[in-house]
Amino acid sequence: MQQLSIYNTLSRQKEVFKPLHEGRVGLYVCGPTVYGDPHLGHARPAITFDILFRYLSQLGYKVRYVRNITDVGHLENDADEGEDKIAKKARLEELEPMEVVQYYSNRYHKAMDALGVLPPSIEPHASGHIIEQIEMVQKILDHGYAYVSEGSVYFDVEKYNENHHYGKLSGRNIEDMLSTTRRLDGQDEKKNTIDFALWKKATPEHIMRWPSPWSEGFPGWHMECSAMGTRYLGEQFDIHGGGMDLLFPHHECEIAQSVAALEKESVRYWMHNNMITINGQKMGKSLGNFITLEEFFQGSHPILTQAYAPMTIRFFILQAHYRSTVDFSNEALQASEKGYGRLMDICKRLQELKPSETSTINIGDLRQKCFDAMNDDLNTPIVISHLFEAGKAINSIFDGNAGITAADLQELRDVYALFVNEILGLDSQSELGQDNANTQAERAAYRAAIDMLLELRMEAKANKDWEKADKIRKQLADLGFEVMDRKEGFDWKWSAP
C-alpha cells in the first residue's frame, strides 16, 4: 500500500494522510461562483483537486468528492455589504438569477470536461441548502458566538477568540486585525468590523431572499461550505481544498463557524493550491489581462499569440507543484505545448515497440519512482520528469539501439497508462481542442495522407529517384513536418515551421 503525505495548511507541514474511516475519504473543495465565464484561475484548483481525487481513487480509497456551486450570498469584493454578484449580473442582463447560474454552470462544466477534470461525486448548490444554513446559524446563536442586529446575524469573532483561536489557519492575530481594520459606512450594525455575516437581511431591492427566524434575507458567503460539508461528509471529514485566495477570510471563517456550531473542528487536512499570475501580474479584469478558458482554447484574447488546446493548459498547470505560483506567458505555454507533444510522441512510440529476446534497459523502478513523487504531496512535476527520462529509453528502443522483453514492455505500457492517462489525466485525443465532433476522423485522415506521401518517397528512394524523394521531404519540412528515416520505414511529427 502506498503511503501518501500531504501538506496541511493548518499545521504548516507535510503529514502522512490517514483517513478518518478506513478505506474511505471525504473531500470537499470550494467550487466557482457562477456569474461569469471560467478563466485560468478556475482551472488550477479544478485540476489540482482532480489529481487528488484521481490519486486517492487509484490508491483504493472510496472517495466522496463534494465540490459546491456558489449561486447566492457571494457579495461584491467578498464583503458583507454590497450587491450579490449573481443578482448584479442578472440585473444588468435582464435575466432571472437562476438563468445566470444555469448558463455559467453549463459553461464551467464544458470547460472542465475539455480540461479532463472528472465530475465530483456531489455538486451541491448554496441556494438548495438554505434550510441547513439556517439551522447551523441557529446553533451558533444558541452557543453564544453570534448576535442578531437589525435582522442580520453576525459571528462574534472576539467572543469566539476568548475560547478558541480565530486566525489559526491563516496565521493572523486578532489584535492586529482589530487595529488595522477601520469602520466602514453601512457596517454600524456590527459590534466589530472583523465580525462577519452568517445571515443578511435583504434590502428592498435584493431579489434573492428566503424567510428565516430573523428576517427575509440570504446566508453569508462563508456559511454555505460549513453547512454543505457537514451535510454530505459528516461533522468531521478528511480534506478541505481550495485556492490560496480563499484561505482568509473564507476558510478561516469556516473553521470558526464549524467549531461554534458543532463544538469541534470539521476538517482534518486543509489543502490550498497557489495562484496563477500573467506576465508577473495578478490576473484581473481591471488590469486587462483577464483571460477566459474559451479565449485560451480559441486564441481570441489580444494577449494571446495563438490558441492553446485544453490538454496544453492542463500540462502547463501540472508542470508546477500545486503549492507553487505559476506565471503565464505565451512563451511558457508554447514550451508546455512542445513538452506535451513530446510526451504524447513517447506514448505513441511505446505502443509501436516490438519486444526482443532480452532487455538492455532497466525499467524496474519506474513505477515506484512515480508513486514516490505522487506520495510526496502530489509532486506532479517530478512524475513528468520521470516519464520523460524513461522516454529516452523508449526512443532508444524505437530507433533500434536497445531491446526490451515482452514482459518489460507490458510493464512500461501499464506504467504510462496509469500515470499519464489515469492519474495525470492527460489524453492525446484532446490535444487539438474541443467543439469538433469530427476531430478524431480528421486526424486519422490527416495522418493517412502524410503516410501516403512518405510511402511515395520510400518508393522513389527504392527506385533511386533521389530528386523526387528529396523534393517530398523538403516540401513537408517547409510545412513544418519533421521526417525521420528508420531501419524499417519512417516516422514523422509536425511542429510549427
In the block, residue with C-alpha cell 478505506: 23
Instruction: DSSP for 293-357, please give it.
Output: HHHHHHT-STT-SS---HHHHHHHHHTS-TTS-EEE-HHHHHHHHHHHHHHHHHHHHHHH----S
Task: Please tell me the CATH code under which domain 19-273 is placed.
Answer: 3.40.50.620
Q: In the chain, where are the structural domains located?
A: 19-273, 278-430, 439-494
Give the C-alpha distances (Å, rounded to integers) separating 401 from 127, 393, 396, 487, 489. 62, 9, 5, 11, 16
Distance CA 484, CA 378 (A): 36
pLDDT value of position 230: 97
Distance CA 69, CA 308 (A): 27
pLDDT value of position 451: 79
Answer whether 230's CB lies under 8 Å from 135's CB.
no
Instruction: DSSP for 196-248, please give it.
Output: EEEEEEPPTT----B--SS-SEEE-TTHHHHHHHHHHH-SSEEEEEEEGGGII
Looking only at the bridges linking them, the beta strands covering 276-278 and 326-328 are: parallel
CA proximity to 96, closest of 79, 76, 71: 71
Burial environment of residue 412 by CB neighbours within 10 A (0 to 12, 13 to 18, 19 or more): buried
Distance CA 137, CA 362 (A): 60
Distance CA 100, CA 37 (A): 11
DSSP 8-state secondary structure symbol assigned to residue 421:
I
CATH fold for domain 278-430: Isoleucyl-tRNA Synthetase; Domain 1 (1.10.730)
DSSP H/E element including 494: strand 489-494
Distance CA 369, CA 146 (A): 51
Contacts of 222 (CB under 8 A, 6+ apart): 196, 198, 249, 250, 253, 254, 257
List phi, psi (to 5°) of 479. Answer: -85, -5
Instruction: DSSP for 424-492, please give it.
Output: S---GGGTT-SS-TTHHHHHHHHHHHHHHHHHHHHHHHHTT-HHHHHHHHHHHHHTTEEEEEETTEEEE
pLDDT value of position 494: 64
- C-alpha cell recorded at residue 304: 494571446
pLDDT value of position 436: 39
pLDDT value of position 374: 98
DSSP H/E element including 96: none
pLDDT value of position 449: 83
Residue 305 CA neighbour count, 13 Å, CB half: 7
pLDDT value of position 392: 94
Cis before 249 (ω within 30): yes
DSSP 8-state secondary structure symbol assigned to residue 29:
E
- C-alpha cell recorded at residue 402: 536497445
Going across the sheet that includes 281-282, the strands are: 281-282, 276-278, 326-328
DSSP 8-state secondary structure symbol assigned to residue 401:
S
Q: Which three-class secondary structure state does DSSP give residue 132?
A: helix
- In order along its 497 residues, the chain shows pLDDT tens digits of 799 999 999 999 999 999 999 999 999 999 999 999 999 989 999 999 999 999 999 999 999 999 999 999 888 877 888 889 999 999 999 999 999 999 999 999 999 999 999 999 999 999 999 999 999 999 999 999 999 999 999 999 999 999 999 999 999 988 888 776 655 544 578 999 999 999 999 999 888 999 999 999 999 999 999 999 999 999 999 999 999 999 999 999 999 999 999 999 999 999 999 999 887 777 765 566 679 999 999 999 888 999 999 999 999 999 999 999 999 999 999 999 999 999 999 999 999 999 999 998 888 899 999 999 999 999 999 999 999 999 999 999 999 999 999 999 999 999 999 999 999 999 865 444 444 334 445 555 767 788 788 888 888 888 888 888 888 888 888 777 888 776 667 777 665 54
In the block, residue with C-alpha cell 499519464: 420
